[in-house]
Amino acid sequence: MSSPIVLQIFRGEGDSGAEQRFEVPAVEGMVVLDAVHYVQANFANDLACRWNCKAAKCGSCSAEINGRPRLMCKTRVDEFVGEIHVGPMRTFPLIKDLVTDVSWNYEVNKQIPGFTPAANEPVPYKMLPEDTERVYEYRKCIECFLCQDVCHVLRNHDDKSAYYGPRYMVRIAALEMHPLDTRKRTGLLHGKAGIGMCNITKCCQEVCPEHIKITDNAIIPLKERTATDVYDPVARIARKLNPFSGAAGISDLVAATDGQASTPQRFTVKDVVRLKTRGRQFARVASVLPDGKLQVWVLRMNGSVQHWDGPKIVHTSDVTNNYGPLDEVGIGGKLVEQYITEDHAAEQHG
Amino acid sequence: MPSARSRVCNVLVIGTGAAGLRAAIAATEAGSQVLVVGKRHRLDAHTVLAAGGINAVLGTRDPEDSWEQHFADTLREGYFIGHPRMVEIMAQEAPAAVRELADWGCPFARLEDGRLDQRFFGAHTYRRTCYAGDYTGRAVLFALAGKAQQLAIPVIEDQYISRLLVADRACFGAYGFDLVSGERTVFEADAVVLATGGHTRLWRRSSSRRDENYGEGMSLALEAGCRLMDMELVQFHPTGMVLPEEVAGTLVTEAVRGEGGYLTNREGKRFMLEVDPKKKELSSRDVVARAIYKEVQAGRGTEHGGAYLDVRHLGPEKIKKKLPSMYEQFLKLADVDITKQPMEIAPTIHYAMGGLRVEAETGATTLPGLYAAGEAAAGLHGANRLGGNSLSDLLVFGRRAGAAAGAYVREVQLGKIDERQVTEEQRILLLPLSADGTENTYLLQQQLQKAMQDGAGLAREEKSLKACLDKILELRQRSARIHVPGSRKYNPGWHTARDLRFMLTVAEAIVRAAIERRESRGAHWRLDYLEKDPALGRVNFIAYNDGGHVTLKTRPVPEMPPELAKLFAEPESSSPAPPPAASPPKPQQVRT
């Protein structure tokens, strides 16, 4: 390795920029990040790049090397013949040089309801070894966002509103597969998280530096779970017979009838219910009062914006159906579309 | 600077690692409005590198274990200059901290009956280390981050804190800037918690992540008038990678020796058989590190000045099954197939036992309104840290510091902003961008790391330490003439220029204290004073800022109450006493 390494490093801010050529002396065992550091120390002190651990554990030095999303610290320069092109991740807005603004990911993360064990779960929690091992794989994620970068759904949609991306499928899987978690997130997955957008090209799985089988072990099982909860007719009937145990899947809304629920309904705070009153409005349980009364907030749609009116006191007999706990995001987006179309249809028939 | 923002909160937490998040959660639960700031992406704290485990006396494996035993093990391994009250608190409160984490969703390994599993770590009497695979730190951090998110605690990323703001002898906030835009922010707070980690990146060969652990928090506090303690005490991990040069220092986990790896010299001899016939390769960290150093000095080292760590006798299958990450690390980074070739290793800087002097109960520093927890604080580990105690430290003292800050906030009067401090810091910060100096900040940083490696490394003596100090003072002069091209917008050169100021201050404190501790104790090994000095065994060295100079004084080690003193038959015994004869079998001994 006597001839120098030739790097073409992208430099620029915002919308503009171009590659700049640098020559770096080759060193045994050198990785791309070392070469970038050499450039930084000797030619361009202000070259912007994120980095930290140099051991593929922090997930900050993500870049596109010869067009492929990689960690710079894990990519040897002697893998390549000829020039090495180093550029920022293209899926996220450019800040400067190799640094991109990945804050969208954190906003998405906030929308995922966290670990929710049953309120009466005895403490300290007990778990079987195989149950804990099952969620280990998802916990390996270092949040380098290479999977988000390579995902064509995110890459090709500027507003990124259609899909949360592979990273958050992994996070949701970690929560969903947690043996003590009681929350259903299939409504969210079907709705705003947009799991249906993934068509299993497995690109994310291929670029993952932690070798998490994102598609095989997170996305596909979650797709199955979502399909069961949202579409499976048997599960739907089972839920209707025992609404409390069911998922807050969207198909319930379609199937909702003026049902005399065959089992007495139970309510807890945050449950989404539908009222028998005119327009069969959705409401959210604010508190459960004695004598079979509920304090609720009633959903009123203003265009696509949700308004919750109330609090209002209703009797449990005024409730036609209980969809289980409010899944903060599932109630938005697609659920609302469903609600509007359904109401529209009801008006036509009525 | 063009646009200045200001943010107001009750408690400002600096650092997003486990100590910082635990403090933020405690302060929030105490009713404070909390703001957490960090230099990196959230979930990208140094805590994630803590692989091995977290100590807590739960007694699931060994019911005869007790907090008193954990106390005794920790204090003894710290060569009796740790703070007894801190050790006592840690030993008593770690079990609750671990249970709480499990309740927040941390996937600790379990036993068949569903209870938390515990394993052995070196120099512990019983099995008391909980773990989650080989990424315990990451699992702990994610659980804390999930809890913090549920409490809606705001975390701001990419914030570089460059000064603590002090008025009327109290801390009322911090001055920082946004790494991305370069815009400044004045954080106004009633109390500040420093959870900023250690300083082990001052050395060239270090197991720390590359771009952190510059001693930022210690330097910030020293400049603000706080006291540092035990700065000379720095732990070495015996096995760090040697090649390639660029990754030198990266940790080779102790699990390699735990699984039965041999340490050999160039002649192929297992030198640990002579050094410690009983524990062999699994002797304590300082002993193994010194043995390797001695082999190298005697001319029996490897080509690149280390020793060989050999696992070939275990067979390829066992290696790939038990040590998958090491197999991959060496294959990927060093082109070494550890099933066919031995690993070349050398001691590497690992952990800062020293840091801010804090009150044991509260984490309060000597400056009212300023608290510290985690590696940034001193006192718990004494002269040597036990494996697995650092995560316990973060949780127990993170919680206490956050709760104490939350309680302080309720009492304190609103602080005043001293505009002069803000403008002064702004002027200093911008200097490298505007000055017409000639010094390259990166090259100065490399020189400092080399000087520390050569002069204040594993084996120290008066001459090498004094040469190192001279170099530090020279670099300080030269650092005034740094020039960085470009603007403030995401400019790593500019950030490094500020880092260098932190590093120089902390390096000076370390080296001055190392000169004064004229004895060998724990991790501090003086070639010119090979024995322990009982007089020095009763004091801690305190460093403080005296008109811009780092100055030292001594302070007696606090006494422990008589009922705890009884645990030690011979507190002044020359080496850590061996575990009781009835110690249970050790199936696995892993720490990293």
Instruction: Please return the burial class of A75, using the count of CB atoms within 10 Å of its CB with bins 0-12, 13-18 and 19+.
Output: buried
| Cβ B118 vs Cβ A129: under 8 Å | no
Neighbours of A347 (CB within 10 A): 9
Task: Give this prediction's pTM.
Answer: 0.79
Taking residues B460-472, what's their average pLDDT? 96
pLDDT at B153: 94
B306 falls within a domain: yes
Residue range B197-236, pLDDT digits in tens: 999 999 998 988 888 899 999 999 999 999 999 999 999 9
For A199-229, write each residue's pLDDT tens digit.
899 999 999 999 999 999 999 999 988 888 7
Asked if the structure places residue B61 within a domain, the reply is no
Give the pair of three-digit tokens for residue A3. Answer: 């001839």
The stretch B281-304 carries a mean pLDDT of 89
Q: Which two tokens stand for residue B200?
A: 């082990």
The pLDDT of residue A43 is 94
Same domain? For B520 and B558 the reply is: no
Are residues B508 and B483 part of one domain? yes
B544 and B522, same structural domain? no
Assess if residue B477 is contained within a domain.
yes
Last residue of some domain: B526, B551, B579?
B526
The 10s digit of each residue's pLDDT in B312-348 is 999 998 888 778 778 888 888 888 999 999 999 999 9
Residues B507 and B576 in one domain: no
Q: Are B591 and B388 in contact (CB under 8 A)?
A: yes
> Which residue shows structure tokens 């991306």?
A165
Searching chain B, which residue's CA lies closest to the CA of residue A51? Answer: B211
Instruction: Report the gap between the CA of B442 and the closest CA in chain A (Å).
Output: 6
Per the annotation, the verdict on B481 as an active-site residue is no
In the structure encoding, which two tokens stand for residue B132, read together?
A: 């989650």
pLDDT at B579 over 60: no
Is the CB of residue A290 less than 8 Å away from at least one CB of chain B? no
Q: Return the higher-pLDDT residue of B141 and B588.
A: B141
Residues B336 and B255 in one domain: yes
Token representation of residue A340? 């509007």
| CB of A40 less than 8 A from some CB of B | yes
Evaluate whether residue B489 is within a structural domain.
yes
- Rounded to the nearest angstrom, the minimum Cα separation between A115 and chain B is 6
Higher pLDDT, A72 or A132: A72
| CB-CB under 8 Å, B44 with A58 | yes
Amino acid at A96: K
Say whether B492 and A117 touch across the interface (CB within 8 A).
no
pLDDT of the residue at A27: 87
Task: In whole angstroms, give the CA distance from residue B120 to residue A124.
Answer: 22
Same domain, B343 and B241: yes
Q: What is the pLDDT of residues B535-571, one digit of tens each?
A: 999 999 999 999 888 999 999 999 999 999 988 875 4
Do residues B478 and B575 share a domain? no
pLDDT band at B360 (very low <50, low <70, confident <90, very high): very high
On whether residue B256 sits in a domain, the answer given is yes
Q: Which of B490, B494, B496 to mutate to test the interface with A (most CBs of A within 10 A)?
A: B490
Which of B99, B134, B211 would best serve as a mutation to test chain A binding (most A beta carbons within 10 A)?
Answer: B211
- The verdict on B262 and B320 lying in the same domain is yes
| Start-to-end CA span in chain A (Å) | 80
In this structure, the answer to whether residues B263 and B330 fall within a common structural domain is: yes
Which residues of chain A have a CB within 8 Å of the CB of B246? 27, 29-31, 34, 54
Confidence (pLDDT) at A322: 63
In which band, very low, low, confident or very high, does the pLDDT at A310 lie, cut at 50, 70 and 90? confident
Helix (H, G, I), strand (E, B) or coil at B336: coil
Check if the beta carbon of residue A37 is closer than 8 Å to that of residue A87: no
- Of chain B, the percentage scoring pLDDT greater than 70 comes to 95
Query: Looking at residue B292, which CATH number applies to its domain?
Result: 3.90.700.10
Supply A108's token pair: 């998405």
pLDDT, position A151: 94
Candidates B199, B232, B575; CA nearest to B383 is B232
- What pLDDT is attached to residue B402? 97
Q: How far apart are the first and last CA of chain B?
A: 44
- Write out the E strands in chain A: 5-13, 16-24, 62-65, 68-71, 84-87, 94-96, 99-100, 271-275, 282-289, 293-302, 305-315, 319-325
Which of B347, B377, B404 delimits the end of a domain? B347
Domain membership flag for residue B184:
no
Query: How many domains are contained in chain B?
Result: 3
For the question of residue B591 being annotated catalytic, the response is: no
Whole-number pLDDT of residue A345:
45
Does one domain contain both B505 and B549?
A: no
Catalytic residue among B40, B201, B227, B257: B257
Which among B296, B329, B347 is the end of a domain? B347
Regarding whether B316 and B249 lie in a shared domain, the answer is: yes
Put simply, the answer to whether A139 touches B135 (Cβ < 8 Å) is yes
A25 touching B, CB under 8 A? no
Of the residues B40, B85, B199, B237, only one is catalytic, namely B237
Count CB atoms within 10 A of the CB of residue B275.
19
pLDDT in tens, B482-507: 999 999 999 999 999 999 999 999 99
| Tokens 């008589």 belong to residue | B562
Is the pLDDT at B295 greater than 60, yes or no?
yes
Read off the DSSP letter of residue B205: S
Say which of A29, A48, A54 has its CB closest to residue B492: A48
Which amino acid type is present at position B527?
L
Kindly determine whether residue A114 and residue B334, on different chains, have CB atoms separated by under 8 Å: no
Compute the average pLDDT of residues B251-274.
88
Encoding tokens for residue B516?
A: 């004064």
Question: B530: which residues sit within 8 A by CB, 6+ positions away?
Answer: B520
Query: Quick check: is B404 in a domain?
Result: no
8 A C-beta contact, residue B500 and residue B507: no
CA B526 to chain A, closest CA, distance in angstroms equals 31
Task: Specify whether B541 is located in the same domain as B508.
Answer: no
Q: Which position has the higher pLDDT, A37 or A159?
A: A37
**A58 at the B interface (CB within 8 A)?**
yes
Predicted confidence (pLDDT) per residue in A248-284, tens digit: 333 333 333 333 333 344 666 667 777 877 777 778 7
Contact B109 A132 (CB under 8 A): yes
**Structural domain harbouring B448:** 436-526
CATH of residue B518: 1.20.58.100
Residue B7 belongs to a domain? no
Interface test with B, best of A1, A53, A109 (most B CBs within 10 A): A53
